[in-house]
């Protein structure tokens, strides 16, 4: 069964914020080398789901495991060292540090723990991969939005994550930038990485994701191949509202 080979497994996860149920009884698996999209309307709990996987907060109920090891009660730094890397919906760079140092931050404390020359060289190679090596000594305040996103992605890749979580990495890009961005993620996919991406850009979902999980009001309403899911009546209704369906 696929479940047995799952790298990331989410089981009956619920998250309550006071009276608000942000995520309700979510379950899904991600297999090795698979690229899974999480889609759903605004406020449907996608970021909350990502936050629970990366350890920002513990789920109210349920289990998340990485290669069979329970991670849902671990702190973010433990989960990061176990091999989960993420980007943030609103880019988070380290303002006082150079571009290179921002990326080194990802390389130094991960499961490989590089340091000194080795960390620097590795950070350069990752920056090169996202097309940012020429800017490695620039202060991050001088970067354009897509460049900030690329640096953040490079920092995450520098930790050599086994599972990569991208929270709306393509949001806020203009059409040309979007093309560059999609191509970049395409390359990651071709490297055989295991990726979970939250995304609103449907073109990107169609061309990048093998599978999609759809959330609405915190619950899973569909899970399957991208084509199947995007033509599902419930999914269309959730996105467009009841009247249009």
Ligand X SMILES: Nc1ncnc2c1ncn2[C@@H]1O[C@H](COP(=O)(O)OP(=O)(O)OP(=O)(O)O)[C@@H](O)[C@H]1O
Stretch touching ligand X by CB under 6 A, among 17-25, 60-68, 124-132, 147-155: 17-25
Residues at the interface with another protein (CB under 8 A): 54-56, 75-77, 80-81, 85-86, 88, 92-97, 101, 104-106, 108-111, 115, 155, 159
Least Cα distance to 49 among 235, 219, 239, 241 occurs for: 219
Q: Which of residues 30-49 bind Mg ion (CB under 5 A)?
A: 46-47
How far apart, in whole angstroms, are the C-alpha atoms of residue 180 and residue 51?
26
Q: Which of residues 50-89 bind Mg ion (CB under 5 A)?
A: 89
Least Cα distance to 161 among 234, 212, 112 occurs for: 112
The token pair that represents 99 in the structure block:
């571009």
* Residue 136 binds to Mg ion (criterion: CB under 5 A): no
The token pair that represents 67 in the structure block:
């290669």
How far apart, in whole angstroms, are the C-alpha atoms of residue 37 and residue 212?
5
* Residue 24 binds to Mg ion (criterion: CB under 5 A): no
Expressed in percent and rounded to 5, the helix, strand and coil fractions of the chain are 40, 25, 30
Among 48, 102, 136, 148, indicate the residue that binds ligand X (CB under 6 A).
48
User: What sign for the dihedral angle of Cα 113, 114, 116, 120?
Assistant: negative
User: Would you say 113 or 206 has its CB closer to another protein?
Assistant: 113
User: Would you say 61 or 160 has its CB closer to another protein?
Assistant: 160
* Residue 17 binds to ligand X (criterion: CB under 6 A): yes
Among 25, 60, 89, 98, indicate the residue that binds ligand X (CB under 6 A).
89
Residue 163 near residue 7, CB atoms below 8 Å: yes
User: Would you say 31 or 219 has its CB closer to ligand X?
Assistant: 219
Question: Is 239 buried (19+), middle (13-18) or exposed (0-12) by CB count in 10 A?
Answer: middle
Q: Least distance in Å: CB of 112 to ligand X?
A: 31
Q: Which does 40 bind (CB under 5 to 8 A by kind): ligand X, another protein, Mg ion, none?
A: ligand X
Among 24, 47, 194, 226, indicate the residue that binds ligand X (CB under 6 A).
47
User: Would you say 28 or 88 has its CB closer to another protein?
Assistant: 88
Place of tokens 């961005």: 181
Q: Least distance in Å: CB of 115 to another protein?
A: 6
Place of tokens 């899974």: 36
How far apart, in whole angstroms, are the C-alpha atoms of residue 231 and residue 245?
12
- Name the closest residue to ligand X (Cβ): 47
Footprint on this chain of Mg ion (rule: CB under 5 A)? 46-47, 89
Footprint on this chain of ligand X (rule: CB under 6 A)? 17, 20, 22, 40, 42-48, 89
């Amino acid at each position: 069964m696929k479940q047995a080979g799952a790298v990331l497994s989410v089981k009956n996860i619920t998250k309550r914020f006071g009276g608000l149920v942000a995520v309700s009884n979510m379950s899904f698996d991600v297999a090795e080398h698979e690229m899974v999209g999480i889609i759903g309307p605004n406020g449907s709990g996608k970021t909350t789901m990502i936050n629970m996987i990366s350890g920002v907060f513990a789920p109210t109920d349920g289990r998340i495991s990485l290669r069979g090891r329970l991670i849902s009660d671990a702190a973010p730094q433990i989960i990061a060292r176990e091999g989960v890397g993420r980007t943030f919906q609103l880019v988070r760079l380290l303002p006082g540090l150079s571009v290179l140092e921002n990326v080194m931050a990802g390389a130094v404390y991960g499961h490989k723990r590089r340091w000194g020359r080795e960390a620097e060289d590795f950070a350069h190679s990752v920056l090169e991969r996202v097309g940012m090596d020429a800017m490695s000594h620039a202060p991050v305040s001088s970067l354009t939005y897509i460049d900030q996103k690329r640096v953040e992605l490079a920092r995450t890749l520098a930790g050599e994550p086994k599972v990569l979580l991208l929270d709306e990495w393509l949001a806020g890009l203009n059409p040309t930038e979007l093309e560059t961005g999609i191509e970049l993620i395409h390359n990651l996919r071709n490297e055989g990485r295991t990726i979970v991406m939250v995304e609103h850009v449907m073109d990107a979902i169609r061309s990048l994701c093998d599978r999609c999980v759809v959330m609405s009001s915190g619950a899973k309403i569909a899970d399957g191949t991208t084509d199947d899911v995007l033509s599902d009546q419930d999914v269309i209704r959730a996105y467009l509202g009841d009247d249009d369906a």
